[in-house]
Amino acid sequence: MSGLFLIIGRIVSVFCLFCLVSVPSAGGQAPPPPLYQVTLPAPDREARSALARQGIAIDAIGPDTITTIVKADQAFAFYRQGLTPLAIVPLDFPPADSAYHNYAEMVAAVGQVAAAHPDITRVYTVGFSLEGRAILAMKISDDPDADDPTEPAVLFFSLTHAREHLTVEMALEIIRLFTAGYGTDPALTNLVNTRELWVMPNVNPDGSEYDIEAGYYRWWRKNRRPNEDGSYGVDLNRNYSYNWGCCGGSSGWPFSEVYRGPAAFSEPETQVVRDFVLAHPDITAAITFHTYSELILYPFGYTYEDVPADMTDEDHRTFVALAGRMAQTNGYTPQQASDLYITSGDAVDWLYGERGIFAFTFEMYPRSNPPGFYPPASVIERETQRNHAAVTYLAAVADNPRKVIGEGGDVISPTVSIELSAETIFVGETITATATVSDDIGVTLVAWQGDGRLFALQTGPPFTVTWTLEASGPHVLQVSAFDAGGNQSVSALVTVTARDRPRLTFFPLILVDTAVPPAARR
């Protein structure tokens, strides 16, 4: 009986807290509807999956617990469901943060990059949201107008869930990385030349705008579908067709944060992603960015089995190897998606299960709340650049991701060496250097560096440069060679010495008149 009184007491105290925080302000304008972070016990993945089956959106996982962000009435309902929260904490709404890009600013930023790099970018409207906002995709490639089936394509897409604004910044950083690096970074230049890179910065623009349009964060997750019961929104990451509605991995209740929608692909936003992927069968790898928890998740989410009937052992080993290597670069934790809890109808399960794409979910910074979904703008640069190596690694192996476990693909690096026309010259003179390169398939780029500075990029033979040395002393020359498999080799350093020209010494001339006798000369 004492346990019952404890629960009743907690209900009363929580209800009183709701009453206090919901009083209108003195100016007569009601404050934003209060939201609460609720911590529930969940010692293992089965317990987490059981909570997810009840329609609870699991926002973060701690030791033996999960946390979820809910409105006041939803927090109160946990007790009616027989659940006893360990903590209920009211959340403050952070002020608007101008460093983050809203929808209009994102569109403008993408347009600015396209205008600055017309040789390697194109921007397409690939569809529209429910409320009519354009969903954009930027292509980055050395020939952006051509759809080259011989070049593997990689897809990066962000903001499936409306409140995960850091993912838009991640997409914009990927765009900046490859465009700014083209012609200045040999490895990035080679990837742009040999891949078709696609970036979709915001696939839920209606939800993301609703989350911020009131001047404070609404903690909104879904899109803005008006549901028949008066609620709004479908969880887009439960709306894909692969095992849609199965396994207790989503909810059929429209009020739920993980409402899967009335049918698979019922939402225009998921239809856009589906149709885009179907129109680009050369996509071999993908990352969908979410927040938060600092995880790299791979399929499947709908089952606890590591290798179910719809996945080969080779593919499972490939997922594990790829996730592990990417995690080594960014410090995230790699794991199968269902190790968190069962989900169904999500994008990554569909991308692999239906299309055979090696797709991953990156749950970005932070690991926990606070700061949760709304980290301060001061972390944007650090946390997006944190994924540079992972993004470029996946793009590099996209020609055949299974090569990471030895199942085919180009894994042999080129060989490269340098021949010089001379090893010693005078200052101001020019030497000629020739790179001797070979590869089992073919060299796609040669990059020359003199004294640590990139001064020439060549995509075809002859791989020869001239170098004028303007200062005396030793000068170091090195060349790198790349192939279409993303493999790279670097030559040995060679040294060229530039010497100052010898100075001419002049002696005074004494003119002697031979017509004068020697005695007279004295």
Q: What is the DSSP string of 429-451?
A: -EEEEEEEEE-SS-EEEEEEEET
> Which of helix, strand or coil describes residue 7?
helix
- 390: confidence class by pLDDT, cuts 50, 70, 90: very high
Q: Does 514 score more than 90 pLDDT?
A: no
* Cis bond upstream, residue 370 (ω within 30): yes
More confident residue, 72 or 380: 380
Contact present, 392 and 459 (Cβ < 8 Å): no
Q: Does 405 score more than 60 pLDDT?
A: yes
More confident residue, 9 or 76: 76
Q: Does 7 score more than 60 pLDDT?
A: no
Q: Is 363 a catalytic residue?
A: yes
pLDDT value, residue 512: 56
Position 452, amino acid: G
Model confidence over 208-247: pLDDT tens digits?
Answer: 999 988 778 899 999 999 999 999 999 999 999 999 999 9
pLDDT value, residue 80: 78
Residue 140: both structure tokens together: 């980055």
Q: How far apart are CA 142 and CA 194, in angstroms?
A: 8
Catalytic, out of 363, 381, 423, 470: 363
Strands (E), 121-238: 121-128, 134-140, 153-158, 196-200
The separation between the first and the last C-alpha atoms of the chain, rounded to the nearest angstrom, is 139
- 160: confidence class by pLDDT, cuts 50, 70, 90: very high
pLDDT value, residue 28: 40
Q: Does 144 score more than 90 pLDDT?
A: yes
Q: Does 423 score more than 50 pLDDT?
A: yes
Strands (E), 260-383: 283-291, 295-298, 333-336, 358-364
Q: What is the mean pLDDT of residues 440-461?
A: 95
Mean pLDDT of the chain: 89
Q: How far apart are CA 405 and CA 396, in angstroms?
A: 15
Of the candidates 405, 408, 379, 400, the one whose C-alpha atom is nearest the C-alpha of residue 325 is 405
Contact present, 198 and 138 (Cβ < 8 Å): yes
Q: Does 427 score more than 70 pLDDT?
A: yes
Alpha-carbon dihedral sign for residues 216, 222, 223, 224: negative
More confident residue, 228 or 34: 228
Alpha-carbon dihedral sign for residues 218, 221, 226, 228: negative
Q: What is the mean pLDDT of residues 324-333?
A: 98
pLDDT value, residue 515: 60
Strands (E), 206-350: 283-291, 295-298, 333-336
pLDDT value, residue 216: 81
More confident residue, 308 or 72: 308
pLDDT value, residue 87: 85
Q: Does 392 score more than 90 pLDDT?
A: yes
pLDDT value, residue 11: 35
Domains of the chain plus CATH, in order, are 2-91 (3.30.70), 103-405 (3.40.630.10), 415-499 (2.60.40.10)
Q: Does 27 score more than 90 pLDDT?
A: no
Q: How far apart are CA 226 and CA 110, in angstroms?
A: 30
The DSSP H or E segment spanning 116 is: helix 103-116
Of the candidates 351, 382, 355, the one whose C-alpha atom is nearest the C-alpha of residue 366 is 382
Q: Of 7-16, 52-61, 165-174, where does mean pLDDT reach its minimum? A: 7-16
DSSP 8-state secondary structure symbol assigned to residue 248: T
Model confidence over 242-281: pLDDT tens digits?
Answer: 999 999 999 999 999 999 999 999 999 999 999 999 999 9
Q: Of 123-137, 206-220, 452-466, 499-513, where does mean pLDDT reach its minimum? A: 499-513
Q: What is the mean pLDDT of residues 444-453?
A: 96
pLDDT value, residue 504: 65
- 26: confidence class by pLDDT, cuts 50, 70, 90: very low
Position 159, amino acid: L
pLDDT value, residue 37: 84
* Residue with token string 């949201």: 129
pLDDT value, residue 370: 84
Q: What is the mean pLDDT of residues 390-404?
A: 98
Phi-psi region of 237 (alpha: psi -120 to 50; beta: other; left: phi over 0): alpha
* Residue with token string 């493999």: 487
Contact present, 391 and 174 (Cβ < 8 Å): yes
Q: Does 519 score more than 90 pLDDT?
A: no
Q: Does 23 score more than 50 pLDDT?
A: no
Global model pTM greater than 0.75:
yes
> Which of helix, strand or coil describes residue 361?
strand
Contact present, 452 and 411 (Cβ < 8 Å): no
Over 160-187, what HEC string results? CCCCCCHHHHHHHHHHHHHHHHCCCCHH
Q: Does 337 score more than 60 pLDDT?
A: yes
Phi-psi region of 215 (alpha: psi -120 to 50; beta: other; left: phi over 0): left
